[in-house]
Structure formats: C-alpha cells, structure tokens
Amino acid sequence: MIGTEPFSLESEGALREHLSIYHHHADADADADADVDVDVDSPSDSNNEIQNEEIKASIFLIKPTYGWGNLKITRDGMLSLLSALDVSPSIYRYLAAFGKKSSPIDEGFAGFDLEVATDPSGGLARLEFCYLLKYVSRRENASSKGNPWSIRHALIHQKVDLASNRVSNILVRLPGKVEKQLSSIVKDNGMAEFARDWTWLHAACFSSVDNDLRQFINYLDQEITKVFDRVIMSSMEPTKLNEFDSVQQTSKDLKTLQSLSDQARRLMNTIDLNIETIKCMLKEINGLRVLSLGSPRGAQVEMLFNLLEKTQQEHRFSLKNASAMLDRAKATSEQLRDTASLRNSEISKMSSEMTNLNTLATAKLAEQSNRETHVVKTLTVLALVFVPAGFAADFLQMGYITIAEESPMRWSAAADLKIYAILALPLIGATMLIYGCVEMMQRTPAKK
C-alpha cells in the first residue's frame, strides 16, 4: 500500500529534520535556525513523500520569490537537500542559472545531462536526468502596454534508483501548468501511479510548452499587424499627412518594430535550445528503449520517445512561425523607412519648388527695379534738359535777357545774369561729369 503525506517546511531546520527521517543521507547535525521556504500544500514550493514497501518517491518544488528573484531556500538548505538525495554534481551548473538577477542574462543557457547505470545482468539499474527546459509564461502584474510574456527556464532533476526502489525529483521554477497537474495528483491520491512511472514528469514538462509558445507568437503577430496597419494608412504627399505620419509616430513605430524583432529572435533562440535538448533526450531515450525491452517500463519509455518526437516536430513548426514573424517585422520596418524616405523626398521637392518660386519672384522684382531705375534716370536727364530751359524762360520774363536789335538779332543780358552764368555753368558741368562717372562705374562690374 502506498501512502501520501504532505509536509510544509517553514525553516531550514524543518527541512533537515524531514530529510533525516525520510532520506538517510541527510545531515542530522545541521543548524535549524536558518530561513527556508519550501511550501508543499499548494502547487508552489512543495514536497510530497510517497512511501511503499516496493517504491518511494519524493518531489521537491522550489520557486523564486518573483520572476528573477532568489529561490525560496537558503544555500545551506539547498546543499543539505542535494547531499541527502545524493545527486550528481552536474546540477550545480544548472542551479547557477537561477537566483536574483538584474536581467535574464542566462536566457540563452541550456544543457542536458543523463547518467545511466546498469546491473550485472545488463538491465537498467539507475537513471539521473538533469536539464533545463525553456518555456514561455505570462508576467506577473504585466502592464497593459508592455509585453505580457516572459521567456523562462525550469530545472528538472530526476533520479531513478531501481535497485533501492526510490525516485527523487528536484524541480525549480516549474511551468505553472505542470505545477497544477502535480497538485491535482496529490489531491486526487494519484501519487502511486506517479511513483511507478518516471516518464510522466518529462512528458508533462515538454507537453506544456507548445501552447504558450503559440500564444507568444500570436502576440508578436498582433503587435506587428498594428504597426503594419499604420504604415498602410500613411500618406507620402506633404499636403495630405495624417496623425500617423508625424516624426514622433514614425520614430515610435520603428522602435516598436525593433523591440518586436528582438523578442522574435530571443524566442527563436529559446525554441532552438529546446529542440537541441529534445534531440539529446531522444538519443538517450532511444538507448533506454533497448535496456527496457521486456520490462514493465518498456511501454512507458516507448510512449515518452514518441511524445518527444511529436514535441520536437511542434517546436520546429513554432520555429518556422517565429521566423515568419521576424521576417514580417523586418519587412514592415523596411516599408516604414521607405515610406518615410519618400515622404521626406516629397517634402524636399516641395521645399525646392517653393525656393525656385521665391527666386523667380526675386528676379522679377529685380527686373522691375531696373526698369524703375531707368525711368528715374530718364527723368533725371529730362530734368537736366528742362530745368535750364525753365531758368531761361524765367530770365526772359524777369528782364534779365532782352533783345537789343531785331535785325540782326542781338541779345542783351543784365550784369547779374552774367555773374550767375559764370557761377552756375561750371557747377552744372561738374554735376553732369560726376553723374556720368558714377554711371560708368556701375556698368563696368555688371559687364564683367
């Protein structure tokens, strides 16, 4: 008979006490005052122990305080757990990808390790899986304008010891769907079947990835379509610009497309890493199929192999879909740049035409000014002709000039007029000479 007994461990001491009772490798002399948060009554941070005369299975679920926060277990508590379960040292390499980080710097980190031991008869004696599973999950408290999806990874460590009939599972930052499934198993008293089938955990983990990948890709498609619709509505004629054609909106759309392209590349890398992990696992599972021939677990291993092949195919389709989103983002970005360039060309053309019109207007004004200058000069010459004539008429009327004899005609001028003529004629001549010199000086540079 298999029994299920949940434990809520609120301190490192409680964890070590539990390990000393149910896992004989535990260090019973450890200090019990350190802080540890390993909660098992809910789908997060839990430990479930199944004991039977034939098989014993344990599940340790450990979650971070938040997305990239510290794990809810102290360093000493984790070391005690790893020591009690006698896990492979390879797990330390993967645990380094968790903990408090300012950014997802280990997003591109992945790996797969499997240690297999056989009994003297050549049968399967021990398995120890350790790998990172990449998946997509909704952000906690994500803003309505930001990206609601986040790329994450889970650590799956499973040690199956058929000689001692014990299965231990250390699961860090597990996908929410798998946590819910494990919670349902505990509540529905299904741990007996879980303890007998070590392949269930791997099948559940890999099967939980594809749907959220599709949702993330749909989100990228939707955001790219929004920008594409604005690009299609854009106008290239400067006189018909709308609100989508402003410099601020164009710059914002280019930044949005750049961000979406980066997210698509990161998602493609995540899918690629999962494909490589599945490829490694398929290779190892294929070897386990041979070792499991004729055993009760042979059918389980065969089902896991088939499911991994299906999951790999789903990932390849998702990779093509994400690649299409990246191509769409690039094409939309290029179209937006081309539209902005054509719009700028039209604006430059219009500005050039306005400049030409201003130049023509300036030339016309200059021509009219030249005409007016010629008119002024003509009037000046006429004035130089008619003013002396007017003076002569005035002199005649005032009696300064009289006719002394009619035949032959003789003129007689008053002494005052002679003085005026002696003074005025040289001045008039000097004035005309200066005017002529100024005209010649102005025309000479124009000819050059």
Question: What does the domain layout of the chain look like in residue ranges?
Answer: 1-208, 210-369, 370-447
- For residues 289 and 109, give the distance between their C-alpha atoms in angstroms, rounded to a whole number: 29
- Within a 10 A sphere around the Cβ of 11, how many other Cβ atoms? 17
pLDDT of residue 389: 66
Which two three-digit tokens encode residue 73? 């277990």
Say if residues 274 and 209 touch (Cβ distance below 8 Å).
yes
Q: What is the pTM of this model?
A: 0.72
421 CB-near residues (< 8 Å, 6+ apart): 413
d(CA 150, CA 175): 12
Extract long-range pairs of 371-378: CB within 8 Å, 24+ residues apart: 377/439
Tokens of 432: 């005309």
Helix (H) / strand (E) element for 117: namely strand 112-118
CA distances from 173 to 14, 30, 135, 220 (A): 22, 26, 11, 25
CA distances to 131, 358, 368, 374 from 363, rounded to whole Å, are: 81, 9, 9, 17
Distance CA 81, CA 378 (A): 113
Cross-strand partners of 114: 129
Termini Cα distance of the chain: 117
Phi and psi at residue 243, to the nearest 5°:
-65, -20
Q: What is the mean pLDDT of each run of 10 residues along the chain (448 residues)?
A: 41 66 46 34 40 69 83 87 90 91 85 90 86 92 82 94 88 92 82 86 94 95 93 71 71 91 96 97 90 78 94 96 96 87 76 84 85 80 72 69 73 73 76 82 68
Computed over its alpha carbons, how large is the radius of gyration of the chain? 49
Which two structure tokens, joined as six digits, stand for 359? 């130049």
Distance CA 327, CA 320 (A): 10
Name the residue among 230, 260, 250, 251 with its Cα closest to residue 324.
260
DSSP state of 243: G
b or e along 120-130 (b: 16 or more beta carbons within 10 Å of the residue's beta carbon)?
eeeebbbbbbb
Which residue bears the tokens 């200066």? 434
Q: Per the structure block, which two tokens stand in for 170?
A: 């250390």
Contacts (Cβ under 8 Å, ≥6 apart) of 277:
110, 111, 112, 131, 132, 133, 134
Rounded-to-integer distance, Cα 194 and Cα 55, Å: 11
Prior bond of 238 cis (ω within 30°): no
Single out the residue of 44, 61, 52 nearest to residue 192, CA to CA.
Answer: 52
Extract the tokens encoding 267: 């998602």
DSSP secondary structure, 130-176, as one string:
EEEEEEEEEPTT--SSS--EEEEEEEEEEEEETTTTEEEEEEES--H
Contact 18, 28 (CB under 8 A): no
pLDDT at residue 13 in the model: 66
**DSSP string for 6-75:** EE-EEEHHHHHHHHHHH-TTS-TTS-S-SEEEE--SSSSS-EEEEE-SS-EEEEEEE-BSSTTS-BSS-H
